[in-house]
Amino acid sequence: MLIGTAGHIDHGKTTLVKALTGVDADRLPEEKARGITVDLGYAYTPLPDGSVLGFVDVPGHEKLIHNMLAGATGIDFVLLVVAADDGPMPQTREHLELIDLLGLRVGAVALTKCDMVDAARVAAATREVGELLAGGALAGAPVFPLSAVSGEGVAALRAHLESAAAARRARSAAGHFRLAIDRRFTLAGIGTVVTGTAHAGKVGVGDTVIVAPAGLKARVRSLHVQDRDAQAGQAGDRIALALTGDFEKKDIARGMWVVAAELHRPLARFHAELRVPAGQPPLKHWAAVHVHLGAADITGRVALLEGEEVGAGATVFAEILLDRETLAARGDRFVLRDASAQRTVAGGRVLDCFPPTRHKRAPERLALLAALRDDDPAVALGLLLERAPAGVNLTQFAANWNLDAAAAAALWHRLDLRVIADGVEHVGFSAAGWDALRARLLDALAREHARAPDMAGVERERLRRMTLATLARPVFDALADELLAAGAIVQTRAWLHLPDHQASVSAADRDLFAALKPLLDAAPYNPPRVRDVFKASGVAEDTVRQLFKRLARAGELYPVAHDHYFTAQAVAALAAVVAAVCATHGVARAAEFRDAIYGDGGGGRKVAIQILEFFDRVGYTRRVRDDHLLRGGNAPEWLPR
């Protein structure tokens, strides 16, 4: 169990930790010289069952709240320290407010320095503490009068802590590994070491991790858990990681994260639910703040999504915009302090790490944020699926909730999702959503057949846009292939169409094309343009142009460029050449493609480029700078039949 101290300066937090553990948590020379805690201190003590109690000793001075908040990240139990002679003081109240905003609900109170006052004062201080805790996060917490100097009462507190540790349910280690760095240093023979509390997941010696948001790849050389050598650690543990990689100590700082690669998604804004503590002035829209998240202190602003200000005790949805990147996950607690870092103004919980850039105040968006409050991710995902005709990015959703592969797969199965791979991402659809998408595609084809009955059908890329412009190409391909396999649609060369649709060419057009086609066949990879056909045949230029347009709609010609038509047979053969060039070189470029179809004489570069651009246009290839890459799964439609 990890215990965090809290309380006013000079109320004996560090002395009490030493009495409980035998360890002086003040490690800095400045702390020992001044007798006050400046930075976080750590101490550990073994328990009879072989486990360890860990203590994070925090500073009590008002100017060191940022250090206190860094240490409060991830603790299991709050040990509030109040001196009997002073009673509750300003930092006692402020720390309690922070504890409440961080969602910490389990703890106890150590009433210290009881050897310096009489019994009446101890009783009075106990009542004051009880009144202070009433209605707050630690309401009803036990109070232990003691003296850390004489040792009186320390054993009773220690026994309570041991009992609480034994009764505490082990924190789940589900999810990918996340650790908030609160300290970093170097050790001779070991190298760079970072320490922090693991928020989720597991880590072991030899694992590869990312120091984020810097994106530094590292390997875990060794680790300590609760100040002991270990081979692995998990959520809830205080862990020291010895990291090796291409970086130096100066590249790592408090506030960074050590995470599994799946979680390296830096962000500079997130949506959250936000609460202003009682007794604080209203928080206004666009207020400048310090954001304490994990072990980080980052400046930023608050954009309220409901109204222009939020009053004391109220909770609203808000967007938090950061001045530098960090990492977060849904459910992370954070605290906001004012621009001068003098006063706590609000606290909250992260809901969405990947918020939209538009319509952030729309009722539909606020309803989704309300659903994200529920700890069952199926609630929010179900609502997302209803509102996302192009599907939900499941990879991003899993990262927001920090779902590992097993938990994500179980959720997709529970909701009976259709999951499509889109590169490294996965897109999900409910059964109803997938059926709706099928209907949209079939309706788009039916409408196009009615509009242009003389066209053979619709090319894949155009049909994707007609179905739903925002639909990812891999999703459309999966949808179209499913419909093809079921016989709901048919493919004729490059065109998709309904089974009962057939484009027709009139007898007159057929006779005229029979006379002109030899001109195209004579140079299939660089046929004459419309004007050249007119000059060679004597058929009026506009007559040739309109004939070729009608034949293109019927699927017998392709308009590769303006007034430049290739036969379907030539295009199929050229597609095979593109595939062969890609197989040899990995990509198709103009020079290699030109040589493949025209030889190495150096001619035809312009036409070769136009052909490659045509294949990009119809979705057979995709262009990346000067390269043309085959799109997976589409080659058969272009091969000779």
The pLDDT, as a whole number, for residue 37 is: 56
Instruction: Give the model confidence (pLDDT) of 86-144 as tens digits.
Output: 999 988 998 899 899 989 899 999 999 999 999 999 999 999 999 999 988 899 999 99
Same domain, 33 and 157: yes
Predicted local confidence at residue 51, as pLDDT: 85
Q: According to the model, what pLDDT value does residue 135 have?
A: 86
Residue 566 inside a domain? The answer is: yes
- The domain boundary, picked from 135, 167, 199, lies at 167
454 and 429 in one domain?
Answer: yes
User: Nearest-5° angle of CA 278, CA 282, CA 283?
Assistant: 110
Q: Which range of residues forms the domain containing residue 419?
A: 374-503
Report yes or no on 413 lying in a domain. Answer: yes
CA distance 185 to 187: 7
Q: What is the pLDDT of residue 640?
A: 39
At 541, is the secondary structure helix, strand, or coil? helix
pLDDT of residue 638: 47
User: The CATH number of the domain where 586 resides is what?
Assistant: 1.10.10.10
Count how many residues are written for the chain: 641
Is residue 263 within 8 Å of residue 178, measured between CB atoms? yes
Residues 489 and 586 in one domain: no
pLDDT at 204 (0 to 100): 97
Question: For the chain, how many helices (H) and strands (E)?
Answer: 19, 33
Evaluate the CA torsion angle 437, 439, 442, 445 in order and state its sign: negative
Cα radius of gyration (the chain) = 34
Do both 162 and 186 map to the same domain? Answer: no
Domain membership of residue 173 (yes or no) is no
Q: Distances from the Cα of 272 to the Cαs of 7, 90, 277, 347, 388, in angstroms? A: 28, 28, 16, 10, 21
Whether residue 491 is found in the same domain as residue 387? yes
Entry pTM: 0.82
Residues 577 and 470 in one domain: no
- Give pLDDT tens digits for 133-178: 998 889 999 999 999 999 999 999 999 999 999 888 878 899 999 9
Query: Which residues of the chain have a pLDDT value below 50?
Result: 31-32, 633-636, 638-641
Which pLDDT score is estimated for 634?
45
Residue 196's domain is classified under what CATH number?
2.40.30.10
- Between CA 355 and CA 54 the distance in angstroms is 37
Buried b (16+ CB within 10 A) or exposed e, 421-451: ebeeebbbbbeebbeebbebbeebbeebbee
The span from the CA of 502 to the CA of 509, in Å, is 16
In the block, residue with structure tokens 């540790």: 165
**Residue 422: inside a domain:** yes
| pLDDT of amino acid 602 | 53
CATH of the domain at 15: 3.40.50.300
Are 236 and 334 in the same domain?
no
403 and 354 in a common domain? no
Is residue 388 within 8 Å of residue 396, measured between CB atoms?
Answer: no
- The pLDDT score that the predictor gives to residue 560 is 95
Largest pairwise CA distance in the chain: 120
Nearest CA among 178, 229, 228, 184 for reference residue 203: 178
Does the residue 410 lie in any domain?
A: yes
Judge residue 462's burial from the number of C-beta atoms within 10 Å of its C-beta, 0-12 exposed, 13-18 middle, 19 or more buried. Answer: middle
Residue whose token pair is 């996340």: 178
- Boundary-marking domain end, from 110, 135, 167: 167
**Which residues, 6+ apart, have CB-to-CB distance to 595 below 8 Å?**
none
Residue 479, classed as helix, strand or coil, is helix
The per-residue DSSP string of 2-25 comes to EEEEE--TTSSHHHHHHHHHS---
Q: DSSP readout, 333-386? A: EEEEEETTS-SEEEEEEEEESS--SS-TTSHHHHHHHHHHTSS-HHHHHHHHHH
* Spatial separation of the C-alpha atoms in residues 151 and 132, rounded to whole Å: 26
Domain boundary residue among 330, 363, 396?
A: 363
What is the C-alpha to C-alpha distance for residues 356 and 342, in angstroms, rounded to an integer? 32
Quote the number of domains for the chain. 5
**Phi, then psi, of 619 in degrees rounded to 5:** 90, 5
For residues 91 and 157, state if they share a domain: yes
pLDDT at res. 514: 95
**C-alpha–C-alpha distance, residues 113 and 128, integer Å:** 15
User: Is 165 within 8 Å of 1 (Cβ atoms)?
Assistant: yes
Q: Which residues contact residue 422 at a Cβ distance below 8 angstroms, ignoring those fewer than 6 apart?
A: 472, 474, 475
271 within a domain of the structure (yes/no): yes
Q: What is the pLDDT of residue 601?
A: 56
Q: Are residues 567 and 478 in the same domain?
A: no
Q: Do 34 and 160 lie in a common domain?
A: yes
In a domain, 79, yes or no: yes
| In a domain? residue 74 | yes
Neighbours of 500 (CB within 10 A): 7
Are residues 514 and 634 located together in one domain of the fold?
Answer: yes
